[in-house]
Amino acid sequence: MPADFISSLFVFILAGFLGFELIKRVSPLLHTPLMSLTNALDAIVVVAAIILAGRHETKLSTLLGLIAVAASFSNMVGGFLITDRMLHMFRAGKAKKP
Amino acid sequence: MTAIATQQVIDFSYIAAVIGFILALKWLSSPVSAMRGVLIGEIASGVAVLATLFDPQVTRYKWIIITLIIGAAIGVPLGLVKMTAVPQRTALSHAFGALSAALIGIGEYYVGTPHLTKFEMLEIGLEVIVGSLTFTGSLIAAGKLQEILPQRPITYKGQNVVSLSALGGAIVLMLILMVHPEYTHLFQAMIVVALLFGVMLVTPIGGADMPTVISLLNSYAGFSAALLGFVLNSKVLVVAGALDGASGFILSVIMCKAMNRSFTNVLFGAFGQVQVSAGQAAEERTVRSASPEEAAGILAAANKVVIVPGYGMAVAQAQHKVRELYDGLTKRGIDVKFGIHPVAGRMPGHMNVLLAEADIPYDKLLEMDEINGDFPQTDVALVIGANDVTNPAARTDPASPIFGMPILDVDKARTVMVIKRGMGAGFAGIENPLYYMDKTLMLFGDAKNFVGSIVRELAGGHE
């Protein structure tokens, strides 16, 4: 098995466990924003799309890369935007307000 | 800068991005710090994208910039949808995420073939299969949530066999490709079969199971990004994908537990098919109904009210009227809380977002475990558009298909009022004995109008 795979597997397992611990602590109140936020973070695949499109190897790979750029970047922009909007709506009760 | 130095800057920007992602999720633990989490997530993603544009492999910019602008132009309206449309928007974004991961994998295949090693082919194959099935599956889910497609489960005989053979077929094609990566038509066939499997996976699943399915698709979208990270040896993708995948997975487990069902049961069980003990429904039972005036009178006389919202509140867009009711009751010194079942609505946290949109303080929104102990001391439990999650048969009737599912114990309140359009059974076609209890009053009508009428009655001075 290639060394790259092994090191990626290490990272994957550590990140997976970390994700578990982090997400367990997210209040159920915020499960919808959690989903839209992780969606926006996941849109980081846009960097791979940019590189595939930018390498310009074949017409097909460039075209696929460009579609992927648009699809993932729309997720990044839309995901952060809606998470931000949702979180603005959550406010504490009057007792907690200054 | 030399190419090597540039590469190092890019690598460090990715490490910074990963730190940002982790902090973003950490700060989401409470509504107080959550805004900070979004900000750090935005900065982290922005830094990573910006750094990538300086990657020496990227030679032509014109189209990349244009497609980034197109992406932003699609993303902004999708970020501005109404809160009631959030479930379908989320499903659509799973589709987009999976689509881009699949397309990149496909691109890498065509660039690499026929010189791919067996192992590379395995990675690409798995990545493209997961990405493709998540893409079509999420589109179907979005269609169901937007009600372009019927929300009822669509099933036929032998469905599970057909679906699983499709998945098996895609995997077999991938295995053949590992030996002969140059058979590009097999690769195309594999994509088509995976796309079909995604359709078959979600079509039989009904609307009430959407919270689980949407979480599961969330997790698949994350894992397809992580697999892409394996293909490209890109650690930032592996981390982001693992975090997203873990998040979706945990949410699916929570949703399954909240319905007392297993993954396989959700995916292959087609809930609507469960045959209800039909004899029970046949016997004529009477219900008591009440007018808005009577309901307002009972509410005004209460000290403690718990409102239980469900999908019906979202459909009727009644959350703002509910807020007026909350204000009206609170003004009279009545203690009003909300009891939220984990699977109320169409996605995890759906009710919380709608009620927060209507400006109801989040410390009044209580989870099932927090609120259930309160019902015996509650004067009025007001159920708005929720059904199965309040069905006491889940506690008492071993013959019920939802027996064992944790529910909100509204039947323990002194008086129960249920706003409902008619006496039709719930989504899953299960009778709800709650409606026939002596302490239950049925308030027949559209949730928004009915709550509005109660609010008017309360304002009219009913003391």
pLDDT tens by residue, B144-155 = 999 888 877 777
Containing structural domain, residue A83:
3-90
Whether residue B259 has pLDDT greater than 90: no
Put simply, whether B369 touches A (Cβ < 8 Å) is: no
Q: Do B67 and A31 touch (CB under 8 A)?
A: no
Q: What pLDDT shows up at residue B426?
A: 54
- Are A5 and B64 in contact by the 8 Å Cβ rule? The answer is no
In whole angstroms, give the CA distance from residue B457 to residue B335.
19
Q: State the burial class of residue B79 (Cβ atoms within 10 Å of its Cβ: 0-12, 13-18, 19+).
A: buried
pLDDT band, very low/low/confident/very high, at B463 (cuts 50, 70, 90) = very low
Whether residue B281 has pLDDT greater than 60: no
Put simply, whether B423 touches A (Cβ < 8 Å) is: no
Whether residue B411 has pLDDT greater than 90: yes
Instruction: For chain A, positions 16-35, list CB contacts with chain B under 8 A.
Output: 16, 18-20, 22-35
* Residue A93: partners with Cβ closer than 8 Å, 6 or more residues away: B361, B362, B363, B364
Place of tokens 């309360």: B458
Q: What pLDDT shows up at residue B215?
A: 94
Q: Is residue A65 part of a domain?
A: yes
- Tens digit of pLDDT for each residue in A1-45? 788 899 999 999 999 999 999 999 998 899 999 999 999 999 999
B159/chain A closest Cα distance in angstroms: 30
Q: Is residue A9 part of a domain?
A: yes
Q: Do B21 and A41 touch (CB under 8 A)?
A: yes
- Are A81 and B79 in contact by the 8 Å Cβ rule? The answer is yes
Indicate the residue of B22, B71, B107 with minimum beta-carbon distance to A52: B107
- Are A28 and B367 in contact by the 8 Å Cβ rule? The answer is yes
For the segment B316-328, the average pLDDT, to the nearest whole number, is 93
Nearest chain B residue to A27, by CA? B29
In whole angstroms, give the CA distance from residue B73 to residue B81.
14
- Are B361 and A29 in contact by the 8 Å Cβ rule? The answer is no
ipTM of the complex: 0.93
Q: Is B432 helix (H, G, I), strand (E, B) or coil?
A: coil
In whole angstroms, give the CA distance from residue B85 to residue A92.
24
Q: What pLDDT shows up at residue B266?
A: 73
Q: Is residue A22 part of a domain?
A: yes
B276-282 long-range contacts, Cβ below 8 Å, gap at least 24? B276/B401, B276/B425, B276/B429, B276/B430, B276/B431, B277/B399, B277/B400, B280/B431, B281/B425, B281/B431
Q: State the burial class of residue B282 (Cβ atoms within 10 Å of its Cβ: 0-12, 13-18, 19+).
A: exposed
A56/chain B closest Cα distance in angstroms: 8
In whole angstroms, give the CA distance from residue A71 to residue A59.
18
How many CB pairs lie under 8 A apart between chains A and B? 371
Give the rounded percent of residues in chain B with a pLDDT score beyond 90: 68
Strand partners, B415: B380
Put simply, whether B62 touches A (Cβ < 8 Å) is: no
Q: What's the whole-number average pLDDT of chain B?
A: 89
Q: Is residue A20 part of a domain?
A: yes
For the segment B2-22, the average pLDDT, to the nearest whole number, is 91
User: HEC string of A43-74?
Assistant: HHHHHHHHHHHHHCCCHHHHHHHHHHHHHHHH
Q: Which two tokens stand for residue B385?
A: 């558009």
Q: Is B285 helix (H, G, I), strand (E, B) or coil?
A: coil
**B159-179 vs B184-202: helix axis angle to the nearest 10?**
160
Strand partners, B441: B417
Domain count, chain A: 1
Whether residue B272 has pLDDT greater than 50: no
B438/chain A closest Cα distance in angstroms: 33
